[in-house]
Amino acid sequence: MIPGKGAITRRRAHVATGLLSAATIVVASLVQASLAGASSPTVIRAVGAENEYANVIAQVGGRYVNVTSIMSNPNTDPHSFEVSTSVAREIASAQLIVQNGVGYDTFMEQLESSSSNSSRKVISVQSLLGLSSEVKNPHLWYEPTTMPLVAQSVEHGLAKIDPAHGAYFERRLTTFDSSFVPLARAISVFRAEFKGVKVATTEPVADYLLKALGLDNVTPFSFQADVMNGVDPSPEDIAFQQKLFTDHIVKLFCYNAQVISPVTTSLRDLAKSSHVPVVAVYETMPVPGYDYQSWMLAEVHALTRAIERHESTTSL
């Protein structure tokens, strides 16, 4: 049956009143929320420059922290990240920030100084680890000892901003630390079994983890740095790298899936045709489905499978 014209108008009127009242509720709750936010901050706004740091903040902060991450897209290269205005807004309103340093996220410092806030707590992982800016490999989160220190510093920061929930943050820090045990165990088991195994890499992203695992990364650092910085590696380095596969000098090829160039893809093809297993590693934490610990554990397992069963892991 086709409704009459009157029915339509009436229905429109109903819809209109419905929308209006909904809008009133939304506006009222917004006003309420902003008033509440102004008087007593119940949820701390935090920013992790890279999503692996954001993940650690979330693990420690739990329900009293609202975390956003700046670099989280697995389909981009963080080394060539460009800042947008929404990033600037998030940083301006953040109360706690974790950033890497060592030139990896220089834009963070610039945005922080352009929106100065004396009560904001900024944790630079570089200074937390006492490193100079001359450190050549900025991928500090792959070092297995880094994140427990970051978590501790985050807990201190959160407890200072919101002392009422200090005990809560402390409990969550303890949980975080104990969740690190399986990873630490996996690393020491790997090390005992495969210490000194030769591997090749495209880029230094996972180098700290490879070193902790006792692996011998034989790719020249000049090659890795050239790929990281987006300039062309020299033909000598490319030839050296090719020989690592064709002469089967290395047991696996650690491939940065987020920093790709024609050189890295042609090397990956060569590794495949030479039956050298490829293991994908990432700049930022692959999402969804991983937290920092399970991500690192997955990488260790992928490396184990590559050495033991010659199995490639082309994506996590």
Partner 1 sequence: MVRFLFEPGLFSNDTVRTALLLGALVSIVSGVVGVFTVLRGQSFAGHALTDVATAGGAGASLAALSPLVGFIGGGVIGAGAMDAIGVQRVKDRDVATGVVLGAATGLSALFLYLITLQTTTTGSTQSILFGSVFTVAPSTVPDVLVLSAVVLAGVTLIRRPLLMSSISPELAAARGVRLRVVGLIFMVMLAAAVGLSAIVIGSILSTALLIGPPASALRVASRLSHALVLACALGVAATWLGVVFAYDSYYWLGSGRGLPVSFFVVADVAAEFVVVSLVAWRRRQRTTALPESLTVPEQVGWV
Binding site for partner 1 (CB under 8 A): 75-77, 79-82, 220, 222, 226-239, 242, 257-263, 265-266
CB of 269 to partner 1, least distance (A): 9
CB of 45 to partner 1, least distance (A): 24
- By beta-carbon proximity to partner 1, the closer residue of 61 and 233 is 233
Q: Are 271 and 245 in contact (CB under 8 A)?
A: yes
- By beta-carbon proximity to partner 1, the closer residue of 129 and 260 is 260
CB of 128 to partner 1, least distance (A): 27
Q: Are 154 and 61 in contact (CB under 8 A)?
A: yes
Cα–Cα distance between 206 and 137 in angstroms, integer? 9
CB of 266 to partner 1, least distance (A): 6
> Distance of CA 307 to CAs 194, 261, 279, 292, Å?
8, 26, 10, 23
CB of 237 to partner 1, least distance (A): 7
Phi-psi region of 2 (alpha: psi -120 to 50; beta: other; left: phi over 0): beta
Q: Are strands 252-256 and 278-281 parallel, antiparallel or unpaired?
A: parallel
Cα–Cα distance between 309 and 136 in angstroms, integer? 33
- By beta-carbon proximity to partner 1, the closer residue of 10 and 248 is 248
Cα–Cα distance between 97 and 116 in angstroms, integer? 13
- By beta-carbon proximity to partner 1, the closer residue of 2 and 239 is 239
- By beta-carbon proximity to partner 1, the closer residue of 25 and 231 is 231
Cα–Cα distance between 93 and 88 in angstroms, integer? 9
Cα–Cα distance between 181 and 185 in angstroms, integer? 6
Q: Any idea which residue has 């490829």 for tokens?
A: 278
- By beta-carbon proximity to partner 1, the closer residue of 81 and 169 is 81
CB of 103 to partner 1, least distance (A): 15
Q: Are 142 and 211 in contact (CB under 8 A)?
A: no
